[in-house]
Amino acid sequence: MTSALAPPRVLPRLVLAQFAGTSPWFAVNAVMPDLQQAYGWPDSALGTLTSAVQFGFILGTLVFALGGVADRYNARRVFLLCALAAAGCTLAALAAVVWAADLAALHVLRAATGFFLAGIYPVGMKIAAQWYPSRPGGGADSGGLGNALGWLVGALVLGSASPHALRGLLAALPSDTLPWGGVMVGVAALAVAGGLLVALGLPDAPGAPAAGSAGMAPPRPGLRTHLRALGSLWTERRVRASAFGYFGHMVELYTLWVLMPLILATRLQGPGLSWAAFFVLGAGMLGCVLGGIVARRRGSARVATVQLATSGLCCAIAPWALGAPDLLFALWLVVWGITVAGDSPQLSTLTARNAPAHAVGSVLTFTNCIGFAISIVSIEFFVRWAAQAPLATVLPWLGLGPLLGVLALRPLWRGERGG
C-alpha cells in the first residue's frame, strides 16, 4: 500500500475521504421507497433521478476534462470545494422534498450533486496517481497504482452503498421521525468530513501544484496539445483498449446497482432489503481491494479481464439464480457484487499508466465522462424494460457490456509481466 513517494498515512486517509465524499451518490436511491410511499411518486422516478445524477456527473467531468482542472489546479483544493458543494446540494434536495415535495427540483439538485461528484471521484484518482506513479521498466504494478486505486475505488463502492446502511439503521427509530431525512443529512455530513480530511489531513504529492494563493501549476500545454491528449482514447492503441474495456464495464455497473433493490425485493422487504443492498453493493469493495493486491503480481489487464468475465457469467445465469434456493441466490448476488465493481480500478490504472503523462487527470476524467454517458443509456433502457418484463428476461442482456469489455482488453493481455 506504499510507494517510494507516499508516506504510510496517505492511502488510508485518501480512502476514508473517498468513501465519505462519494456517499451522496445514491442517497435518494436508498430512500426512494419512503419517498414513493409519502408522496406517491411513480416507479419511473427511481431511474430518472439516478440518471439525473449521472447526467450531472457527465457534465462535470466534461467541464473538468476540457478545462484541465484535475491537472492545472491543486487537486486537494478541488476535492474540498466539490465535497462541500455536493453536501450543500444534498441538503437543498432534502429541503425541496420536505417543504414542497417538488420532484422537478429534486431532479435538478441531484444533477448538481452529480456535477460536483466529478471533482471528487476522478480527482481522488488523480491524487493517487500523483503519489503512486508507475516506475519505467517495473513490474505489472511497479508503482503500486493498481493497488492504490483498488482501495480508492473500493471506497467509492462502499460510499455509494452507505446510504442503504444508514436507512437500515434509521428505520429502527420511532415512526414519528423522518429516517429518509436522516439519511440525507448523514451523507451530507460525511461529504463535508471527506473534503476536510483531504484538505487538512493530506500533504501535496511531490511535483503537484501547491495549494497556494492561486493553487495553480506552471503554464500547462496549449489547447491543441491538451485536446490531442484527450484524443488518445481513440488514437493510442493501449489507451483505447483500457478505455473501451471501461465502457463495457459501465454498461453493467450502475444499471445493476439501480436494479439491485428490485432483485432483492423478490425475497426481502423493509430494513432487511436495505441491509442486503448495502452488503451486496458494498461487496464490490472486496473485489476492488483484492483485485489491486493480485494485480501487483498478475497485472491489471488480467485481473480486469477475469472480473469482467465473472460478472458477465453472473448476468448469464440470472434466470436460474433468481429461482435458486436462498443460499445460492445470496452467493450469486455477492459474487456479482464483488466482480461488477472490482474491475473498475484496474481499468483506470491501465488508462492512467498509458495516458500522456501531462494529462493523466484529464484523460481519466474524460473517460469517466463517456462511461457515465453510457451508463445513463443503459439505466434508462433496462429500468424501463424491467418495468414491463420479468427480471429473468432482462438481466442476461446486461452481460453484453462485460463481453464487449473483455474483447476490448485483448491488446493488453500480452503486454504485462509479473512484478
The confidence score (pLDDT) of residue 112 equals 96
pLDDT at 87: 95
Name beta bridge partners: 73.
Answer: 216
DSSP 219-279: PPPPHHHHHHHHTHHHHSHHHHHHHHHHHHHHHHHHHHHHHHHHHHTTT--HHHHHHHHHH
Residue 235 in grid coordinates: 488514437
Q: What is the mean pLDDT of each run of 10 residues along the chain (419 residues)?
A: 63 89 85 80 79 89 79 86 95 87 89 94 82 57 68 82 78 62 89 93 71 47 63 78 93 91 88 85 89 85 95 97 95 96 89 75 79 88 91 96 94 62
Please identify which residue in the block is written with the cell numbers 501547491: 210
**CA 41-161-369 angle, 5° bins:** 85
Q: What is the pLDDT of residue 213?
A: 39
How many angstroms separate the Cα of 244 from the Cα of each of 62, 112, 247, 266, 355?
18, 27, 5, 34, 14
Size (the chain), residues: 419
**Confidence (pLDDT) at 275:** 85
- Domain parsing of the chain, residue ranges: 10-413
CB atoms closer than 10 angstroms to residue 308? 30
Cα angle value 241/161/256 (rounded, 5°): 50
- Domain 10-413 is classified in which CATH homologous superfamily? MFS general substrate transporter like domains (1.20.1250.20)
pLDDT of residue 141: 46
Give the model's pLDDT for residue 109. Answer: 94
